[in-house]
Amino acid sequence: MLHDLQANTRSEHLSSPITAVIVGAGHRSMLYASYANIAPDALRIVGVVDPDEVRLREAAARYGIPPERCYPTVEALVGSGERIAHAAINGTMDHLHVATTIPLLQAGYHVLLEKPIGTTEAEVLQLLEASTTHRATVMICHVLRYAPFYAEIRRRVADGEIGDILNLQLAEHVSYHQIASVFVRGKWNRKDNGGSTMLMQKCSHDLDLLAWMKSGSAPVRVASFGGRMFFREENAPEGAGRRCLVDCPIEASCLYSARKHYLEHGLWGPYVWHGIESLSLTPTIGQKTESLLTDNPFGRCVWRCDNTVVDHQSVLVEFADGSTATFNMAGNTSRPCRSIRLIGTRGEIEGVLEDGFFVVRHPDLRSRSGYSEERVELKVSGDMHGGGDYRLVEDFLQVLRGETPSLSTTVLADSIYGHRIGFAADLALEEGKWIDL
């Protein structure tokens, strides 16, 4: 698949620094753009698109972008007829990904696109067709492919170290404070709000890894089970109020207290305080407290929100070669982590991303245990993506310069497999049946 990347894109070998425009100046796109701060000879930010005046001004100030290169919409950016940069970093909301990317492709931009690709399979296929028509590079931000932990596992699989994969077991454990903040109180608590199901918004990384480890064999059948079991009104503790800081007598002892999460521990700030950015980009404790007392959705009791997405889900996949895979998303865990276990015809690989190492085992009758074991130590950064964020941007720039893509390079046509699994899993969950791909 990788050799098709340059063949199917414009024959444009760009020299450094490559210029880029930020589209949607939210947390993720601003993080990718910050690579320009550590590698200014490789990337330079020259424009920004965002309908939010506060975000627009913040990005412009950070990168020295002149007013004439600040745009409220993608249409305003491309409407001038001038391509102001080589590429765009698109970090808009899920339901806007395809609608904003296609005009960029038509205007000649290559695109680094935040996951998920789109909110429906039809959208994803529409974007694939557009990227082929305009021969543009569209790289999806599946950053875990670039984390040293997963990149080294994939290299060993590609080298045949454990033979052919018979079974894959992946899991993501979502912490109690993240699920409460992002998927119960926050903007991804309903598909009609955030644009995606929890599986596609939170776990498209993991589904991509699952498909990537089986590269060369397509998924053919999917089933799924799960639901919203815990964060429901009937599970609210006796005496719980509707807002933590307003009418809840048990707030001081509640694990999900908005005061504890957001004021005392400062968790999930970019999400929690977005609604008061018009007051200040660095709101005071008084302003934060007032918002939680009034209309800030993060001040709500976790059992009395309007959330509809699942808080746990299991996915079962069958591949064309007969191998199988499972993925389990469990919310409300004490320790957030991602785990992987691959069972092959000649050995197995097992590890937890956050531990910073994985183990390779092979059958060995000379050993008392019946197997040999190698512990592979890796450097894992403190961020949630295991050090993959900047490596992703670096690889995107490398591809645009016409250099050889890495093993991790996520070609759009390849990225679709993980998304197809996710869309099928959500349909299987809804309809209670196997879904054939």
| Identity of the amino acid at 78 | V
Is the pLDDT confidence value at 12 over 70?
no
Coil vs helix vs strand at 76: helix
- Of 211, 226, 213, 227, nearest to 437 (Cα)? 211
pLDDT confidence bin for 409, thresholds 50/70/90:
confident
Q: Which element (helix H / strand E) includes 89? A: strand 87-90
Q: Select the more confidently predicted residue: 420 or 275.
A: 420
* Tens digits of residue pLDDT in 372-386: 999 999 876 555 455
In the chain, % helix, strand, coil (3-state, to 5) comes to 40, 20, 40
Residue 312 clears pLDDT 70, i.e. is over it: yes
Q: How confident is the model at residue 412 (pLDDT cuts 50, 70, 90)?
A: confident
User: 422 with 16: CB under 8 angstroms?
Assistant: no
What pLDDT, on the 0 to 100 scale, is given for residue 385?
55
- The pLDDT, as a whole number, for residue 383 is 52
**How far apart, in Å, are the Cα atoms of 37 and each of 22, 329, 381?**
14, 35, 18
Q: 92-145 pLDDT, tens per residue?
A: 999 999 999 999 999 999 999 999 999 999 999 999 999 999 999 999 999 999
**Nearest residue to 33 (alpha-carbon basis) of 10, 14, 17:** 17
The per-residue DSSP string of 7-51 comes to: HTS----PPSSEEEEEES-SHHHHHHHTHHHH-TTTEEEEEEE-S
Contacts of 270 by beta carbon, 8 Å cutoff, 6+ apart: 26, 27
Q: Give the list of residues 6+ apart from residue 29 with CB closer than 8 angstroms, or none.
A: 22, 23, 89, 90, 91, 114
Of the chain, the percentage scoring pLDDT greater than 70 comes to 95
The alpha-helical segments, DSSP class H, found in 173-250 are 176-178, 191-194, 198-213, 244-247
Nearest to 142 by CA among 218, 206, 191: 206
Residue 364 CA neighbour count, 13 Å, CB half: 13
Q: 337: helix, coil or strand? A: strand
Average pLDDT, the chain: 92
What is the pLDDT at residue 70?
97
**Mean pLDDT value across residues 186-190:** 93
Residue 344 clears pLDDT 60, i.e. is over it: yes
Q: Is the whole model's pTM more than 0.75, yes or no? A: yes
Question: From residue 339, how far is each of 85, 100, 163, 234 by CA, in Å?
Answer: 39, 34, 20, 32
Mean pLDDT of 183-200: 92
**401 confidence band (pLDDT: 50, 70, 90):** very high
Residue with the two structure tokens 């949630």: 384
Of 4-18, 46-60, 318-332, the one with minimum mean pLDDT is 4-18
Q: Which two tokens stand for residue 420?
A: 């197809």
Token pair for residue 285? 């404790």
d(CA 344, CA 362): 10
Query: Which domains are assigned to the chain?
Result: 4-141 (3.40.50.720), 145-231+307-386+409-436 (3.30.360.10), 237-299 (no CATH)
d(CA 434, CA 437): 10
pLDDT in tens, 212-257: 999 889 999 999 999 999 999 999 999 999 999 999 999 999 999 9
Nearest to 113 by CA among 22, 245, 213: 22
pLDDT in tens, 39-71: 999 999 999 999 999 899 999 999 999 999 999
pLDDT tens digit string along 256-307? 999 999 999 999 998 999 888 777 778 999 999 999 999 999 999 999 999 9
